[in-house]
């Protein structure tokens, strides 16, 4: 997480230059600084999102590999069963003919 900097002195001086009383300008600067600190401390950065996307991609790849291997096993079972059934059918037909 990157920290967001906020220049409270510059903000207060800008308010003072606009005609706001010094006490009120300083109070607004402190209040805004606290709001930014509380509300933006958990803000996700682009790097945070990139890391999460990489993690998601890795998890998806591992799930896809597992499903793929499961499908291969199931396909081998079906093919073996079909081969045995075909052999039994051929043997039965040879005996009958």
pLDDT digits (tens, 9 = 90+) for 1-49: 456 677 888 989 999 999 999 999 999 999 988 888 777 777 788 999 9
Q: How far apart are CA 69 and CA 89, in angstroms?
A: 30
- The answer to whether residue 51 scores a pLDDT higher than 90 is yes
Q: Report percent pLDDT > 90 for the chain.
A: 60
Residue 53 confidence (pLDDT)? 96
Instruction: Tell me the whole-structure pTM to 2 decimals.
Output: 0.47
CA atoms of 53 and 61, how far apart (whole Å): 12
């Amino acid at each position: 997480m990157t920290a967001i900097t906020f220049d409270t002195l510059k903000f207060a001086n800008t308010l003072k230059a606009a005609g706001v009383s010094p006490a009120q300008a300083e109070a607004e600067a402190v209040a805004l600084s606290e709001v930014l600190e509380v509300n933006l401390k958990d803000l996700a950065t682009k790097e945070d999102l990139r890391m999460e996307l990489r993690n998601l991609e890795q998890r998806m790849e591992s799930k896809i590999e597992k499903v793929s291997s499961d499908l291969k096993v199931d396909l081998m079972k079906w093919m073996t069963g079909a081969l045995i059934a075909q052999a039994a059918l051929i043997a039965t037909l040879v005996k009958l003919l």
